[in-house]
């Protein structure tokens, strides 16, 4: 097996789609927040909350989809807090977001230790099982990659379509897009800028939490400290890479994940000659490079990070 032939293996692409799934959810979430004009650096912490909330609900007997809902609600709650602090109060979105990440992460760890005081290896749950789509899963390579995944992965793809539809084809989507560009125009339409933005941040945060929930309910079957491991920050880069568009963001997430899956395999191949840490660095380096590459033509929402106060210019 050599570096090139790996690319044509179905298992690589199946892994890529699996790795991409949490990124798709969280990138969509960040995209919704930023489209409404609010940078949400709480993403890393909100993903941690989602990972824990969904998992602990299932551990206590809830069925898997209830767990998913619990995760989304927990994420939305932190989104409301971030929204309240940054929209009506207009606090620095940078500092508040970091604060939300610190708060969400530490509350999660506290709750984990309260719930499981003495465990050395965290308890496991029965996670989502892969669901083969009839007929389609028989297509070579593509079938293995796309149609033998868990339901949460399918949900991620559906979410992209739904978010794109809502953003570009519905009045509320138009309002969200406009409020991120020119809040005064939305105000002139008689729509409350504050509620619209806070609502978008809450919904976006729910998506981020789903990204976290994917980790504990589909990718792994348990909750670990530091399991989000910078994925949230990578998603912020992916939003820029995708020029704030759901479809491009999806493409970016899959490309990124394919690269990640590729480096994992390359690591086994070249691990004897190169330190494994170099491979683990690649995703983060790639994110920075993507930010630089896109910076020149980034069509970021013009009111991003600018608080709106009625009557102020």
Partner 1 sequence: MRLEPRTEPTRSIWVIAPLVAIAVSFLVAAVLALIGGASPLSVFAAVVRGAAGTQFALVETLTRATPLIFTGLAVAVAFRAKLWNIGAEAQLYAGAIMTVVLGTGALPLPAQILVPMIMVAAMMAGALLLLGPTYLKTHFGVDEVVTTLLLNFIMILFVSMLLDGPLKDPMGLGWPQSKRVIADAALPKLIQGKRLHFGFIIAIGAALIVWFINARTTFGYEMRTVGFNPRAARFAGIPVNWVMAKTALLSGGLAALAGVSEVAGLKGNLTLDLSPGFGYTGIVVAMLAVLHPVGVIAAAIFVAAMFVGADAMSRTVGVPNYIANVMVATALLTMVTAMLFTRFRLKLR
- In the list 230, 268, 269, 271, the residue contacting partner 1 (rule: CB under 8 A) is 230
| Residue 295 within binding range of partner 1, rule CB under 8 A | yes
The minimum distance between CB 147 and partner 1, in angstroms, equals: 33
Q: Quick one: 81 or 164, whose CB is closer to partner 1?
A: 81
The minimum distance between CB 207 and partner 1, in angstroms, equals: 19
| Residue 96 within binding range of partner 1, rule CB under 8 A | yes
Interacting stretch for partner 1, rule CB under 8 A, among 49-57, 209-217, 225-233, 241-249?
225-233
Interacting stretch for partner 1, rule CB under 8 A, among 49-57, 161-169, 200-208, 286-294?
286-294
Q: Quick one: 62 or 103, whose CB is closer to partner 1?
A: 103
- In the list 100, 152, 209, 261, the residue contacting partner 1 (rule: CB under 8 A) is 100
Alpha-carbon distance of 298 to 280, in angstroms, equals 27
| Residue 172 within binding range of partner 1, rule CB under 8 A | no
| Residue 60 within binding range of partner 1, rule CB under 8 A | no
- In the list 89, 129, 139, 172, the residue contacting partner 1 (rule: CB under 8 A) is 89
- In the list 119, 162, 288, 306, the residue contacting partner 1 (rule: CB under 8 A) is 288
Binding site for partner 1 (CB under 8 A): 41, 85, 88-92, 94-96, 98-100, 102-103, 105-107, 109-110, 113-114, 117, 229-230, 233-234, 236-237, 240, 275, 277-278, 280-281, 284-285, 287-288, 291-292, 295-296, 298, 309
């Amino acid at each position: 097996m050599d570096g090139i032939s790996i690319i044509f293996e179905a298992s690589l692409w199946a892994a890529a789609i699996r790795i991409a799934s949490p990124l798709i959810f969280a990138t969509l979430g960040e995209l919704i927040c930023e489209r409404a004009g609010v940078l949400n650096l709480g993403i890393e912490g909100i993903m941690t909350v989602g990972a824990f909330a969904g998992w602990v609900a299932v551990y206590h007997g809830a069925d898997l989809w209830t767990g998913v809902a619990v995760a989304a609600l927990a994420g939305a709650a932190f989104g409301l807090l971030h929204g309240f602090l940054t929209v009506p109060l207009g606090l620095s979105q940078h500092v508040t977001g970091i604060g939300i990440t610190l708060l969400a992460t530490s509350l999660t760890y506290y709750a984990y230790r309260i719930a499981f005081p003495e465990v050395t290896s965290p308890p496991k749950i029965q996670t989502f099982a892969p669901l083969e789509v009839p007929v389609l899963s028989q297509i070579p390579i593509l079938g293995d990659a796309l149609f033998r995944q868990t339901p949460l992965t399918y949900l991620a793809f559906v979410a992209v379509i739904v978010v794109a539809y809502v953003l570009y084809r519905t009045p509320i989507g138009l309002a969200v897009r406009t409020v991120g560009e020119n809040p005064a125009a939305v105000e002139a339409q008689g729509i409350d800028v504050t509620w619209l933005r806070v609502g978008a941040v809450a919904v976006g945060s729910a998506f981020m939490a789903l990204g976290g929930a994917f980790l504990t309910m589909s990718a792994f079957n348990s909750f670990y400290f530091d399991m989000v491991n910078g994925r949230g920050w990578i998603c912020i880069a992916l939003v820029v890479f995708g020029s704030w568009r759901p479809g491009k963001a999806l493409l970016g997430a899959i490309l990124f994940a394919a690269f990640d899956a590729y480096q994992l395999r390359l690591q086994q191949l070249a691990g004897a000659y190169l330190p494994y840490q170099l491979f683990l660095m690649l995703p983060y380096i790639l994110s920075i490079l993507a930010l630089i590459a896109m910076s020149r033509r980034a069509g970021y929402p013009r009111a991003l990070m600018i608080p709106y106060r009625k009557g102020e210019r």
